[in-house]
Structure 1
Amino acid sequence: MNTPNRTDFRFSERLRVRWSEVDAQKVVFNAHYLSYFDTAIAGYWRALALPYEATLAALDGDLFVRKASLEYRSSARYDDLLDVGIRCRRIGNSSISFDAVAWRGATTVVAGELVYVFTDAAGQVPRPVPAALRTALERYEAGAPAVEVKVGRWAELGRDAQAIRS
């Protein structure tokens, strides 16, 4: 697995290593890195301005982890500040692949890949990634703003603005 550069990531979330995450070797216990990545994925959804639960309900779907792989490069220790980068690398027919990296300063601590499968909400059967979600992810990763603010008359913008007001 190649280590992506920080500049390859539009989104990162800063986390501090807590005492409860350190093992007898005085380093972060390996399983906690998946928790760090999960926390950063939640932040990624906020950066997209797509509340996770409401967005998936509106799409009548859900996302399930299909694959999670980690490659350890260094160790994080109690009270370290980690920057956890997340980026959408690929959108397949029903899957979405993310790269995740945790850095301590300039040092890569762990790099990983997370693959999610989009499914119908009830039966957990894979479905194609909805076009609206695909577009939102692609636009965000291309640098487009997650939200756009327009000022205008209610007669022009009211239909779209009503959802925000309610």
Structure 2
Amino acid sequence: MQRSDFRCFHRLRVRWAEVDMQKIVFNGHYLMYIDTAMSDYWRALALPYEASMHALGGEMYVKKATVEYHASARLDDTLDVGLRCARVGNSSCLFQAGIFTGDRLLVAGELVYVFADPATQTSRPVPPALRAIFDSFEAGAEMAEVRTGDWNALGRDAARLRTAVFVQEQGIPAEIEADAMDATARHAVVYNRLGMPVATGRLLQAAPGVGRIGRMAVDRSVRGSQWGRRLLDALVDAARARGDREVQLHAQRSAEGFYRRAGFAVSGEPWKEAGIDHIAMHRSLQG
């Protein structure tokens, strides 16, 4: 088992509470590390787990878990937990895990999941859509697509995501979140392979040659993966395609680092909007 066998990784740092009297990671924690990596695997598939299982008409249950120990992790070690779907049977899926420090394999694991009826916990065939998603991901395929269009085409899905993030999660009043500019904006929505929207944003024309990106919202269960960046890049590309020289946005301060990594720079002083700290940012599209 090698690092190159895996497309999905979760990185973590060993904490004091995870080390036993031998000053190495207690053996049971490795299963917890693998289970944590499983959450990142679903994010990499762009699948909000609960909503996706509901759409697929079942649930994934662990049937068997095995762990093979090769070497020990110690306090403050940085570990990379790789996870892959190695095989899909009729109703079961075999996942393989590798816990590495650098290129050194410390622990190998296997988990057998069974797709089952959540009410009776009796097995069901793995849905063809889920089987195809696993196979495509492990083959290196894209797990989501970005669609752009007007409010008539994308408004229903965009509004649902924005309501969940801004109104329900952040407590922004609904009458502030929605505005008349949606009707003239260029919207973008990221859809996963089940056709579910997982991220959205819009592009306005702030001035001739100047675009303004806003209403960036990502389903909380798939945040921390690549979907917000994919969405932002699509909006920047749309601004460039119509000839804009610059794009601007009003970022929540908690997301400032995300936009900096995408090439945006701060302009001006921070302020509060709807009780949330914001900062103006811009990015040149010339050169």
Q: What is the TM-score of this pair, normalised by structure 1?
A: 0.91
The equivalent position to 1:48 in structure 2, one of 38, 41, 45, is 45
1:30 counterpart letter in structure 2: N
Once residues 127 and 151 of structure 2 are traced to their aligned partners in structure 1, the CA distance between those partners, rounded to angstroms, is 30
How big is the shift at 1:124?
0.4
User: Do residues 134 (structure 1) and 131 (structure 2) align?
Assistant: yes
The two structures, once aligned, show a CA RMSD in angstroms of: 1.5
Q: What is the TM-score of this pair, normalised by structure 2?
A: 0.53
Is the partner of 2:31 in helix, strand or coil? helix
How big is the shift at 1:164?
4.8
Is the partner of 1:45 in helix, strand or coil? helix
Is the partner of 1:35 in helix, strand or coil? helix
Which 4+ residue blocks in structure 1 deviate beyond 2 angstroms? Answer: 150-155, 161-165
Is the partner of 1:40 in helix, strand or coil? helix
Structure 2 residue aligned with 1:11: 8
For each residue in 1:3-54, what CA deviation from the matched residue of structure 2 results, as whole angstroms up to 9, or x when unmatched?
A: x211111100101111001000000000000000000001100110001111
Once residues 137 and 77 of structure 1 are traced to their aligned partners in structure 2, the CA distance between those partners, rounded to angstroms, is 33
2:40 counterpart letter in structure 1: G
User: Do residues 86 (structure 1) and 83 (structure 2) align?
Assistant: yes
Cα distance change of structure 1 residues 142 and 164 upon mapping to structure 2, 3 Å threshold: farther
2:56 counterpart letter in structure 1: L
The equivalent position to 1:105 in structure 2, one of 102, 105, 111, is 102
Q: Which protein shows a greater Rg?
A: 2
The equivalent position to 1:163 in structure 2, one of 157, 163, 176, is 157
For each residue in 1:59-96, what CA deviation from the matched residue of structure 2 results, as whole angstroms up to 9, or x when unmatched?
A: 12111111111110000001100000000000000001
Once residues 164 and 62 of structure 1 are traced to their aligned partners in structure 2, the CA distance between those partners, rounded to angstroms, is 27
2:84 counterpart letter in structure 1: R
1:163 counterpart letter in structure 2: D
Structure 1 gaps, min length 5: none
Once residues 130 and 48 of structure 1 are traced to their aligned partners in structure 2, the CA distance between those partners, rounded to angstroms, is 15
On the 8 A contact 2:70/2:106 being kept in 1, the answer is: yes
2:157 counterpart letter in structure 1: A
Structure 2 gaps, min length 5: 161-287
User: Do residues 20 (structure 1) and 14 (structure 2) align?
Assistant: no
The equivalent position to 1:146 in structure 2, one of 143, 146, 149, is 143
Cα distance change of structure 1 residues 143 and 64 upon mapping to structure 2, 3 Å threshold: same
Cα distance change of structure 1 residues 164 and 130 upon mapping to structure 2, 3 Å threshold: farther
How big is the shift at 1:142?
0.8
How big is the shift at 1:101?
0.5
On the 8 A contact 2:2/2:105 being kept in 1, the answer is: no
Structure 2 residue aligned with 1:58: 55
Cα distance change of structure 1 residues 56 and 128 upon mapping to structure 2, 3 Å threshold: same
Structure 1 residue aligned with 2:258: none
